Amino acid sequence: MSILVDESTRLLVQGITGSEGSFHTQRCIEYGTRVAAGVTPGKGGSKHLGVPVFNTVAKAMAETGANASLMFVPPASAADGILEAIDAGMPLIICITEGIPVLDMVKVHRYLKGKPTRLIGPNCPGVMSPGKCKAGIMVGEIHLPGNVGVISRSGTLTYDVVSQLTSLGIGQSTCVGIGGDALPGSTFADILQLFQADQDTKAVVLIGEIGGAMEQEAAEFIRHKMTKPVVAFVAGSTAPPGKRMGHAGAIITGTAGKASEKMKVLSQAGATIAPTPAEVGLTTKKVLGNL
């Protein structure tokens, strides 16, 4: 098993005809993902990369049975695209787009309340269940099917961590990039809950970073609900306070936002902290060896 995406995923790509949408849809297809439909308003009725294109998400779902959406819509219209997919009843939306205004996301979160949709991202690399489904922009080849779940706020740092795991022969059940924005659709705690319930996930690797309090919420979940081991690292020990470190959410505003504080809280909750970002793989190997 795995979480969020697998062999049964029928992917819809919003913004499939754009340059990034095209490039990454092609790579998802090559990996073996079933891309069922694309949506680009005005291009309905055509085919792109062999995939039927529709004008609206609702029509694409009705005609193809698509059950997850991958979004490459530019930031100014991305929130509208997410709202359209929620309105259409899409069970899972994975939004890659970086740079969506925060107040647009406030509306999205409000509209999500009480709806059956789960949102991953925005500003994330997507979701990958190795050997089953790649719904995102991550490099396919570095992954290996297995039993370790990975959750991260970062894209490329996750690729590095996944490579470490794979080179040690440690496969992954699912890798989830929750994104670098201040208001992610799903939090660490949300995804930890899914991994805790997934019988094929034996341990979880969590890659946090400075800013916000999501790692603290994750620590609460680990302390009270998590029986599987968690290996954690939090990036940004050297980041100066008050500066936005690339990601919109990565800015230290109070003590809680510091990497040292987050690692302390995660450690106290029972997570094993990797001493450096280069040792996440080895730390995971040790933890698995103790099971």
Partner 1 sequence: MKIHEYQAKALLAQYGIAVPRGKVASTPAEAQQIASEIGGKVVIKAQVYAGGRGKAGGIQMAASQVEAKRAASQLIGTRLITHQTGPEGVPVSQVLVEEASAVARELYLSILIDGTSRLPVMMASEAGGMEIEEVARSAPGKIFKSYIDPAIGFQPFHGRKLAYGMNLDGGQVAEATRLMANLYKLFVDKDCSLAEINPLGVTADGKLLALDSKLNFDDNALYRHKDIQELQDKKQEEPLEIQAHDWGINNYVKMDGNIGCMVNGAGLAMAVNDLIQYCGGRAANFLDIGTLNNTERVVNSFKMFVADPRVKAVLVNIFGGMARVDVIAKGIVEAYQQMSIPFPVVVRLAGTNVEEGERILAESGISLIKAKDFCDGARKVVEATKGRMK
Catalytic residues: 247
Site string for partner 1, 157-176 (x = CB under 8 A): xxxx--x-------------
**Residues listed for the chain:** 291
The single residue among 115, 225, 243, 286 that binds partner 1, judged by CB under 8 A, is: 243
Q: Which part of the chain contacts partner 1 (CB under 8 A), choosing from 5-13, 49-57, 231-239, 264-272?
A: 231-239
Contact positions with partner 1 (CB under 8 A) in 27-66 = none
Contact positions with partner 1 (CB under 8 A) in 125-144 = 125, 137-139, 142
139: tokens are 């490099």
The single residue among 4, 28, 150, 214 that binds partner 1, judged by CB under 8 A, is: 214
The single residue among 84, 209, 215, 261 that binds partner 1, judged by CB under 8 A, is: 209
- SS3 percent helix, strand, coil of the chain, rounded to 5, is 35, 20, 40
The single residue among 48, 132, 134, 153 that binds partner 1, judged by CB under 8 A, is: 153
Q: 58 vs 245, which CB is nearer to partner 1?
A: 245
Three-class DSSP labels, 58-70: HHHHHHHCCCEEE
What are the DSSP E strand ranges found in 66-115?
68-71, 92-95
**Could you say whether residue 267 binds partner 1 (CB under 8 A)?**
no
Collapsed DSSP state (helix, strand, coil) of residue 93 = strand
**Could you say whether residue 286 binds partner 1 (CB under 8 A)?**
no
Q: 60 vs 206, which CB is nearer to partner 1?
A: 206
To partner 1, the closest distance from the beta carbon of 125 in angstroms equals 6
To partner 1, the closest distance from the beta carbon of 83 in angstroms equals 12
AA letter at 202: K
Contact positions with partner 1 (CB under 8 A) in 82-121 = 99-107, 109-110
Q: Report yes or no: 165 and 172 within 8 Å, Cβ to Cβ.
A: yes
Rounded to whole angstroms, the Cα distance separating 23 from 137 reads 9
Q: Among residues 4, 3, 47, 2, which one has the least CA distance to residue 13?
A: 47
What are the DSSP E strand ranges found in the chain?
10-14, 34-39, 47-48, 51-54, 68-71, 92-95, 118-120, 126-129, 133-136, 145-152, 172-177, 203-209, 230-235, 272-273
178: tokens are 């929750």
Task: Count residues binding partner 1 (CB under 8 A).
Answer: 64
**Could you say whether residue 21 binds partner 1 (CB under 8 A)?**
no
The single residue among 42, 238, 290, 291 that binds partner 1, judged by CB under 8 A, is: 238
Residue 223, class by beta-carbon neighbours within 10 Å (0-12 exposed, 13-18 middle, 19+ buried)?
Answer: middle
Q: Among residues 258, 260, 201, which one has the least CA distance to residue 230?
A: 201
Q: 4 vs 248, which CB is nearer to partner 1?
A: 248
Residues contributing to the site for partner 1 (CB under 8 A)? 19-20, 24, 75-76, 99-107, 109-110, 125, 137-139, 142, 152-160, 163, 180, 182-183, 207, 209-210, 212-214, 217, 233, 235-240, 242-250, 254, 259, 275-279
